[in-house]
């Protein structure tokens, strides 16, 4: 799966969970830019991503995601060869 496909899928998940317009998301978008992106929503986002890409993140990885770009990078790394 290439980066553009990952970005497309992630944007769809973000839009569903936070009810926002996909076009407002950039690599630098962080929790403080999105209404409702609290710790429960953060984990809801992560579990949706894990399900979509059939991957699993550790607690340390989950806590370390600060921006949309961090998430894209992590998914890209975990899906290499898939």
Partner 1 sequence: MINIDQKQFPRSSVFIGELESLNDRFIVAQIKTMLNNFGDEYVTFLEKVLFLANTSKVSPVDSILDYTTVFLREQVRFQQTDSYSHESFDEVYDEVYNNPDVMEGFYLDGLLLTQACWEIHYHIHRFFCNHFLPRCKGKAQGLEIGFGHGLYLYEILQQCQNKGWARCVIYGLDISEYSLKYATRLLKQSFSEDLFILKIGDIQNELNFPEQSMEFGLMAEVIEHIHSPDQALLRMRHCLKSDSPLYVVTPMNSNAVDHITNFQSIDEIEKLIISTGFVLETKEVFSVKQFQPESKDRTETLCAVFRAL
Q: What does the binding site for partner 1 look like in residue numbers (CB under 8 A)?
A: 31-32, 36, 38-44, 46-47, 58-60, 62-66
Nearer to partner 1, 1 or 61 (CB): 61
Cα 56 from Cα 18, distance rounded (Å): 21
CB of 46 to partner 1, least distance (A): 8
CB of 79 to partner 1, least distance (A): 20
CB of 63 to partner 1, least distance (A): 4
Nearer to partner 1, 8 or 64 (CB): 64
DSSP, residue by residue, 29-70? -BGGGSTT-SHHHHHHHHHHHHHHHT----HHHHHH--BHHH
CA of 52: how far to CAs of 34, 47, 56, in Å? 21, 9, 11
């Amino acid at each position: 799966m290439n980066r553009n496909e990952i970005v497309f899928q992630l944007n769809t998940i973000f839009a569903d969970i936070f009810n926002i317009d996909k076009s407002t998301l950039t690599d630098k978008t962080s929790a403080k830019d999105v209404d409702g992106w609290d710790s429960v929503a953060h984990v809801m986002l992560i579990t949706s991503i894990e399900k979509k890409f059939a991957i699993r993140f550790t607690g340390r990885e989950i806590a370390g995601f600060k921006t949309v770009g961090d998430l894209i990078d992590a998914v890209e790394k975990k899906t290499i060869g898939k």
